[in-house]
Structure 1
Amino acid sequence: MTSILILNGPNLNLLGTRQPEVYGRETLAMVEEKCQRHGTSAGVEITCLQSNHEGVLLDAIHAAKGRHDGIILNAGAFTHSSVALMDAIYSVEVPTIEVHLSNIHARESFRQTSYISKAVIGQICGFGSFGYLMAIDALIERFKGGSDE
């Protein structure tokens, strides 16, 4: 069975209460449940992990090689600072899509730089939790051979 790992970084455990005007009112549990249902309907296994610790995210990316067919990563603030996450994505060679709930390109200038974007196959931002479903669909299309890039 096709398997996708969904990784969420720092502060995403606070979804629904942290700046709901920016990140929405859905909790992380609600987002993960939505992803699980979407994956199940498409015949894809979804595994979710959230951590506020960069090393835990790095370990999960490393462990994904040979276990998961794709990764969806919302690295939170690590997006704008982590060369280590970028290097890990390059190293495991597992197709990875970067997701953000808000449109990082319309926010503060420091949020407009993504280190991990250099290593991922695509970036989805600004669509709230729907962006995760878009990323699942994009990976499925890639697995079917619908996209080589």
Structure 2
Amino acid sequence: MAAARPRFFSNIKSADEYFLPNLYGQTTNQPAPASTSLSEEAFFESDIERLDAELESIFGSSLQERHGANTDEDIRAAVAPVDQHQPPPPPATTVVPPIPRYDEMTRVIGTPFDHRPQRTQYRRDANVLVVNGPCALAQGKIAGTQASWSDVQAALEQQASTAGIGLAVENSNHEGVVIDHLLNATEHTTVILNCGDLLHAYPAIQKAASLSAAQVLLLNDTPLADSNASARQLTGFGAFGYKVALHAAIEQFKEQ
């Protein structure tokens, strides 16, 4: 036979013992027990203590101890059911930064590795145009020499400024850009052209030099046998050939 469940309060009636005897009978005409000679307020307090003791024997601890509440309002707030129909809180708004314009992106990112040919507006007011074509410059130096192009360009600009003539410089490794400069040059312009001693490999540039209205001076390490009669050649001068060609152009302008 199973052992009876131990009771924490042997002198206090359980809920069944308290309610079942009066379930089918009239409780109003029955006399009160002898132990209920206390006042009515004390009687109700004793009933509450009995119920609390029974609940404590079933659940272990009181609601006040479990939820840390001190008042009835605190207890109701602690065990209040969650409203399932309550709408969820609105999601946090995320501020999306505006998409930058194309000009802003190019200003921030830049295109240092953009090798597409760029058409440069030709300066028609220049008297001398220096064009460095394909492979004329390499690693900031004039191909085949140790001369720095920035130093040579500064010397040419100083030489042209002293002579009182205009000077423009264009560098491009694209054949079409060089052709555009040759065909857009006016008859009052002298073009100093250096194609890195590869002019023989560019028939289109040779044709553009023959069709150009400007006076063309070719800088080559070796003479070009198939050069047209309108283009003059300066060979074997290396980096110094730019200064020789510019000096020749200045003297030609003085004679005009």
TM-score range relative to shorter protein: 0.7 to 0.9
Displacement of 1:30 in angstroms is 2.0
Q: Which structure 2 residues correspond to residues 125-144 of structure 1 after superposition, within 5 A?
A: 125-144=235-254
Change (3 A) 1:76 1:58: same
2:222 to 93, 98, 104: 104
Structure with higher helix content:
1
**2:174 aligns to what?**
53
CA contact (8 A) 1:14 1:28 kept: no
For the residues of structure 2 that align with 1:53 and 1:118, how far apart are their CA atoms?
A: 22
Structure with higher strand content:
1
Give TM-score, length-normalised by structure 1: 0.75
Percent identical among aligned pairs is: 30
For the residues of structure 2 that align with 1:60 and 1:73, how far apart are their CA atoms?
A: 10
Single out whichever of 32-41 and 74-83 deviates more from structure 2.
74-83
For the residues of structure 2 that align with 1:26 and 1:88, how far apart are their CA atoms?
A: 28
The amino acid across from 2:135 in the alignment is: N
Displacement of 1:3 in angstroms is 1.3
Task: Name the Cα RMSD after superposition.
Answer: 2.5
The amino acid across from 1:65 in the alignment is: T
**1:110 aligns to what?**
none
Moved over 3 A (4+): 15-19
Structure 2 unaligned runs (5+)? 1-124
- How many residues in Structure 1 have an aligned counterpart in Structure 2? 132
For the residues of structure 1 that align with 2:149 and 2:141, how far apart are their CA atoms?
A: 10
For the residues of structure 1 that align with 2:225 and 2:148, how far apart are their CA atoms?
A: 24
CA contact (8 A) 2:140 2:150 kept: no
Displacement of 1:124 in angstroms is 1.0
Q: Secondary structure at the match of 2:166?
A: strand
Structure 1 unaligned runs (5+)? 106-112
CA contact (8 A) 1:2 1:45 kept: yes
Give TM-score, length-normalised by structure 2: 0.46
For the residues of structure 2 that align with 1:127 and 1:15, how far apart are their CA atoms?
A: 20
